[in-house]
Structure 1
Amino acid sequence: MAIATELRSEEEKASPHSQEKKRWILSDFDIGKPLGRGKFGHVYLAREKTSNHIVALKVLFKSQLKQSQVEHQLRREVEIQSHLRHPNILRLYGYFYDQTRVYLILEYATKGELYKELQRCKHFSERRSATYIASLASGLIYLHGKHVIHRDIKPENLLIGSQGELKIADFGWSVHTTNRRRTMCGTLDYLPPEMVEKTEHDYHVDIWSLGILCYEFLYGVPPFEAKEHSETYRR
């Protein structure tokens, strides 16, 4: 219950109907097809019955969050993402919970994961890569201006909207800070040297990931990818 209690105040700020202090419940939504699955739950297409607004509903199991000791990460994710307003950042409209689950009400990015699109195409043209990188850079400039570091920029955490625009998603590793950090997080192929060596880091870690993605968009694989983690570290 601790996670639900601490998040409650964020719900009122994040909800699109915050002026009514709306308390969402699962029956407020028609649940559609599954959109994806993660370590702690699943994401479904959903329709909010009153407004007919189409959203993505992320369902997280409290028992799994507690077992993996990531409740604080979820609190931070909600606190950060609920206040972000940028066309290249996925909106978090609100959240609610019941005895066993926490539900995040997210913007629905109609064209899905960039990762799957990259797999399908093998690599992108220079024009398409440039468009994606410019969009991503715009989102990161906004984030960094808000003193937010994402710390896990990779194709799996980027979604594509209805107009083909890029959306930064999954703020589980993000942090709001004006200080330098030491925590090692994210995915190895996209980590900068200072994170790998566990020295202090700041918002430049996202800029490194941007460069890695630029290479990957053009060539289809990240530049330091290897079969063994030790070889990726060495590269």
Structure 2
Amino acid sequence: MASVGQITRQISALEISSKPNTTRPATTATTSQHQKKPSQTNVSKLLSKYAAPNPFPSSTSLQKTASTQSLAKNAEASRPPSPTRPKQPAFDIGRYDGGFEIENETRGEKVTGQAAEDLALDSSVAAYRPTREWHLTDFDIGRPLGKGKFGRVYMVRTKREPHYILALKCLYKSEIVQSRVEKQIRREIEIQQNLRHPHVLRLYGYFHDEKRIFLMLEFAGKGELYKQLTKYGCFTEKRSSRYIDQMADALMYLHSKHVIHRDIKPENLLLGINGELKIGDFGWSVHAPGNRRKTLCGTLDYLPPEMVEGREHSEKVDYWALGVLTYEFICGAPPFEDLSGYNATYKRIARVDLKIPSKVSPEARDLITKLLQYDPERRLPLSEVRKHPWIVKYRSKGHSTASAA
């Protein structure tokens, strides 16, 4: 077993630092195959061991567990003593810089009235799948993972056994109110907490204090996919194909729950410790059983023609975004990006002015073309995306549709 010091150095080598500069990488960047570092093997095992369970225990299940443990202790007491095993080293979460406390002294204000009621978010009193009651004092806080618009994110470990590893994200209520996104934040939290899929970042629970909301998120050990894309410029077709396969799987699950994501892009995707892709931002998502919306939202480079033209849209906006994502993974930039300005990009999207470089294989070209269709009804269904020759060609052996609850 690796020493704590070795584990610390291994974790430090992982790319889990703050949010990068969001300047797009140049399209001429060299393609390179990502090499997995040998030192990550032990880290992967430790993170798998200490990762939060799926789902996190509720107060009811905790009571059942306590009763079971009590019976087990009584049975254990009647057994002869056995040799004690050496204690395994704990997973190192890094040094805490005091950021939550330091920032809270100078940032944010107490909110009152209706805003206070709207942002009194606590998963322990949720109507569906309530959790146990959580407080900031329930965690050992470790290294900073990044900064968001409304606060910070830290790696934390639950103080209660068996010491699960999480990412704890802080949001300042007054800044949410100032940005007028109270309903958007509530919707994002409510949607994400009820999702259970291997390629969707889990939200295990949430709680609040006078000034802040805290989100207990799954820890994505390899950080932001955008950093990888920036580092390499673009991905190999093999790597791109496997990511798109995972994305199609996750989007099929979301759509089965009547959730339209509406903001698929590399900046909103994370990587688990084994390199698996996870959708990690639901800020523009909507639960729409009718599947027809008119709100213009998302990121310009990924908007479909029906959005830029102000028409109604459905879950097929995510099909279009998947086509844009496929192109960007392989080529290093979105297909309709026009450096002369937003209006030029709008026009290229509306015309589906698609120019695919010759380096793109015929199979990948076929998938991109079938997803980037002006008419939403003509876009290739996600079930067919997962059967497409370019996807099947690179799928790892034994891989099938991921299980989800």
Asked if 2 retains the 8 angstrom alpha-carbon contact of 1:97 and 1:103, the reply is: yes
SS of 1:56 mapped into structure 2: strand
Residue 3 of structure 2 corresponds to which residue in structure 1?
none
Asked if 1 retains the 8 angstrom alpha-carbon contact of 2:196 and 2:202, the reply is: yes
Residue 189 of structure 1 corresponds to which residue in structure 2?
301
Per-residue CA distance 1:99-138 (angstroms, 9 max, x = gap):
0000000000000001001000111001100000000000
SS of 1:34 mapped into structure 2: strand
SS of 2:168 mapped into structure 1: strand
**Structure 1 residue 232: deviation in Å?**
1.0
Structure with the higher strand share, 1 or 2:
1
Residue 214 of structure 1 corresponds to which residue in structure 2?
326
Residue 347 of structure 2 corresponds to which residue in structure 1?
234
Asked if 2 retains the 8 angstrom alpha-carbon contact of 1:112 and 1:161, the reply is: yes
Asked if 2 retains the 8 angstrom alpha-carbon contact of 1:192 and 1:208, the reply is: yes
The reply to whether residue 74 of structure 1 matches residue 185 of structure 2 is: yes
Q: Which runs of 5+ in 2 are unaligned?
A: 1-115, 349-405
C-alpha separation between the residues in 1 aligned to 2:153 and 2:129?
19
**Structure 1 residue 203: deviation in Å?**
0.3
Aligned residue type for 2:324: I
The reply to whether residue 39 of structure 1 matches residue 149 of structure 2 is: yes
**Structure 1 residue 4: deviation in Å?**
3.6
Asked if 2 retains the 8 angstrom alpha-carbon contact of 1:10 and 1:79, the reply is: no
Residue 53 of structure 2 corresponds to which residue in structure 1?
none
Residue 29 of structure 1 corresponds to which residue in structure 2?
139
**Structure 1 residue 35: deviation in Å?**
1.5
C-alpha separation between the residues in 2 aligned to 1:14 and 1:209?
31
**Structure 1 residue 226: deviation in Å?**
2.2
Matches within 5 A, 1:107-126: 107-126=218-237
Aligned residue type for 1:29: F
The reply to whether residue 99 of structure 1 matches residue 210 of structure 2 is: yes
Matches within 5 A, 1:144-163: 144-163=255-274
Per-residue CA distance 1:2-45 (angstroms, 9 max, x = gap):
12446556657456xx3xxx211111112222212221122111
TM-score by length of 1: 0.93
Per-residue CA distance 1:132-190 (angstroms, 9 max, x = gap):
00000000000000100011100010000011110011111110012200001110001
SS of 2:216 mapped into structure 1: strand
Matches within 5 A, 1:166-181: 166-179=277-290, 180-181=292-293
Per-residue CA distance 1:38-70 (angstroms, 9 max, x = gap):
211221111111131111111000010000111
Moved more, 198-207 or 222-231: 222-231
The reply to whether residue 89 of structure 1 matches residue 200 of structure 2 is: yes
The reply to whether residue 57 of structure 1 matches residue 168 of structure 2 is: yes
Asked if 2 retains the 8 angstrom alpha-carbon contact of 1:192 and 1:205, the reply is: yes
Aligned residue type for 1:47: R
C-alpha separation between the residues in 2 aligned to 1:149 and 1:220?
25
Asked if 2 retains the 8 angstrom alpha-carbon contact of 1:114 and 1:158, the reply is: yes
Asked if 2 retains the 8 angstrom alpha-carbon contact of 1:11 and 1:95, the reply is: no
C-alpha separation between the residues in 1 aligned to 2:140 and 2:129?
21
Pair 1:48–1:14, CA change in 2 (3 A) = farther
The CA RMSD measured in Å over matched residues stands at 1.5
SS of 2:134 mapped into structure 1: coil
Per-residue CA distance 1:195-217 (angstroms, 9 max, x = gap):
11121001001111100000000
Q: Which runs of 5+ in 1 are unaligned?
A: none
The reply to whether residue 203 of structure 1 matches residue 315 of structure 2 is: yes
Runs of 4+ in 1 over 3 A off after TM superposition: 4-15
C-alpha separation between the residues in 1 aligned to 2:312 and 2:229?
32
Residue 8 of structure 2 corresponds to which residue in structure 1?
none
TM-score by length of 2: 0.55
C-alpha separation between the residues in 2 aligned to 1:164 and 1:124?
14
